[in-house]
Amino acid sequence: MNNTPILDVCCGSRMFWFDPNNPNVTFCDNRVVPNHEYYPGRFIEINPDIVCDFTALPFEDKSFKLVVFDPPHLVRAGKKSWMALKYGKLQDGWPQMIHDGFRECMRVLDDYGTLIFKWSDVQIPLSEILKLIEVRPLFGHKSGRLNNTHWLCFMKMPESYHQNESEVLL
């Protein structure tokens, strides 16, 4: 099913990609939104290559060299709001969903592969998310006008590489 080295598990409208049709990326999301005018003259479209849940990815273990994980980060947003449409919305049980999604991203990531995780802490602090995923990032960067968006980088080390129990990936 996979023939690309890169996986974006929550592609949404692909807004941060320089090439939103990059042939090296498999774009996934759990929803499809046809070209929708959300404001006069402004449109959004969510059209993944594969519709799937990021907590149960339809790929074999170690299938990708790079995985991008930008899950929904809002718990408070109106059902028909622009923010919910653009970014998605977390549902009840979201802590387990984020935990399971991160674990699934690591499962499909090849040894020495890189996981880029994006999180906006406007409603849920990054510190809470890091407790859920139980893996320390290699490094990260805050961005955005108010420094609310965090970009974190993880690398999947092979099981035989681990020298410290606290570094073992789940």
pLDDT tens readout for residues 95-111: 999 999 999 999 999 99
The number of domains in the chain is 1
- DSSP character string of 78-126: -TT-HHHHHH----TTHHHHHHHHHHHHHHHEEEEEEEEEEEETTSS-H
Contacts of 167 (CB under 8 A, 6+ apart): 136, 157
Residue 52 belongs to a domain:
yes
* Paired tokens of 109: 């990531």
Q: Looking at residue 148, what is its pLDDT?
A: 85
Residue 145 belongs to a domain:
yes
Side-chain-side CA neighbours of 65 within 13 Å: the count stands at 6
Q: Looking at residue 166, what is its pLDDT?
A: 52
What is the residue-averaged pLDDT of the chain?
89
Residue 1 belongs to a domain:
no
Cβ–Cβ under 8 Å, residues 12 and 48: no
Q: Looking at residue 93, what is its pLDDT?
A: 94
Task: Work out the pLDDT band at 36, boundaries 50, 70, 90.
Answer: confident
* pLDDT of 162 strictly over 70: no
Residue 151 belongs to a domain:
yes
Most confident of the ranges 18-32, 41-55, 156-170: 18-32
Cβ–Cβ under 8 Å, residues 155 and 138: yes
Residue 107 belongs to a domain:
yes
* pLDDT of 1 strictly over 60: no
What CATH number corresponds to the domain at position 118?
Answer: 3.40.50.150
Q: What single DSSP character describes residue 159?
A: G
For 127, the domain range is: 6-167
Query: What is the average per-residue pLDDT within 53-61?
Result: 97
Cβ–Cβ under 8 Å, residues 123 and 76: yes
- C-alpha 137/C-alpha 133 separation (Å) is 10
Q: Looking at residue 170, what is its pLDDT?
A: 45
Task: Work out the pLDDT band at 71, boundaries 50, 70, 90.
Answer: very high
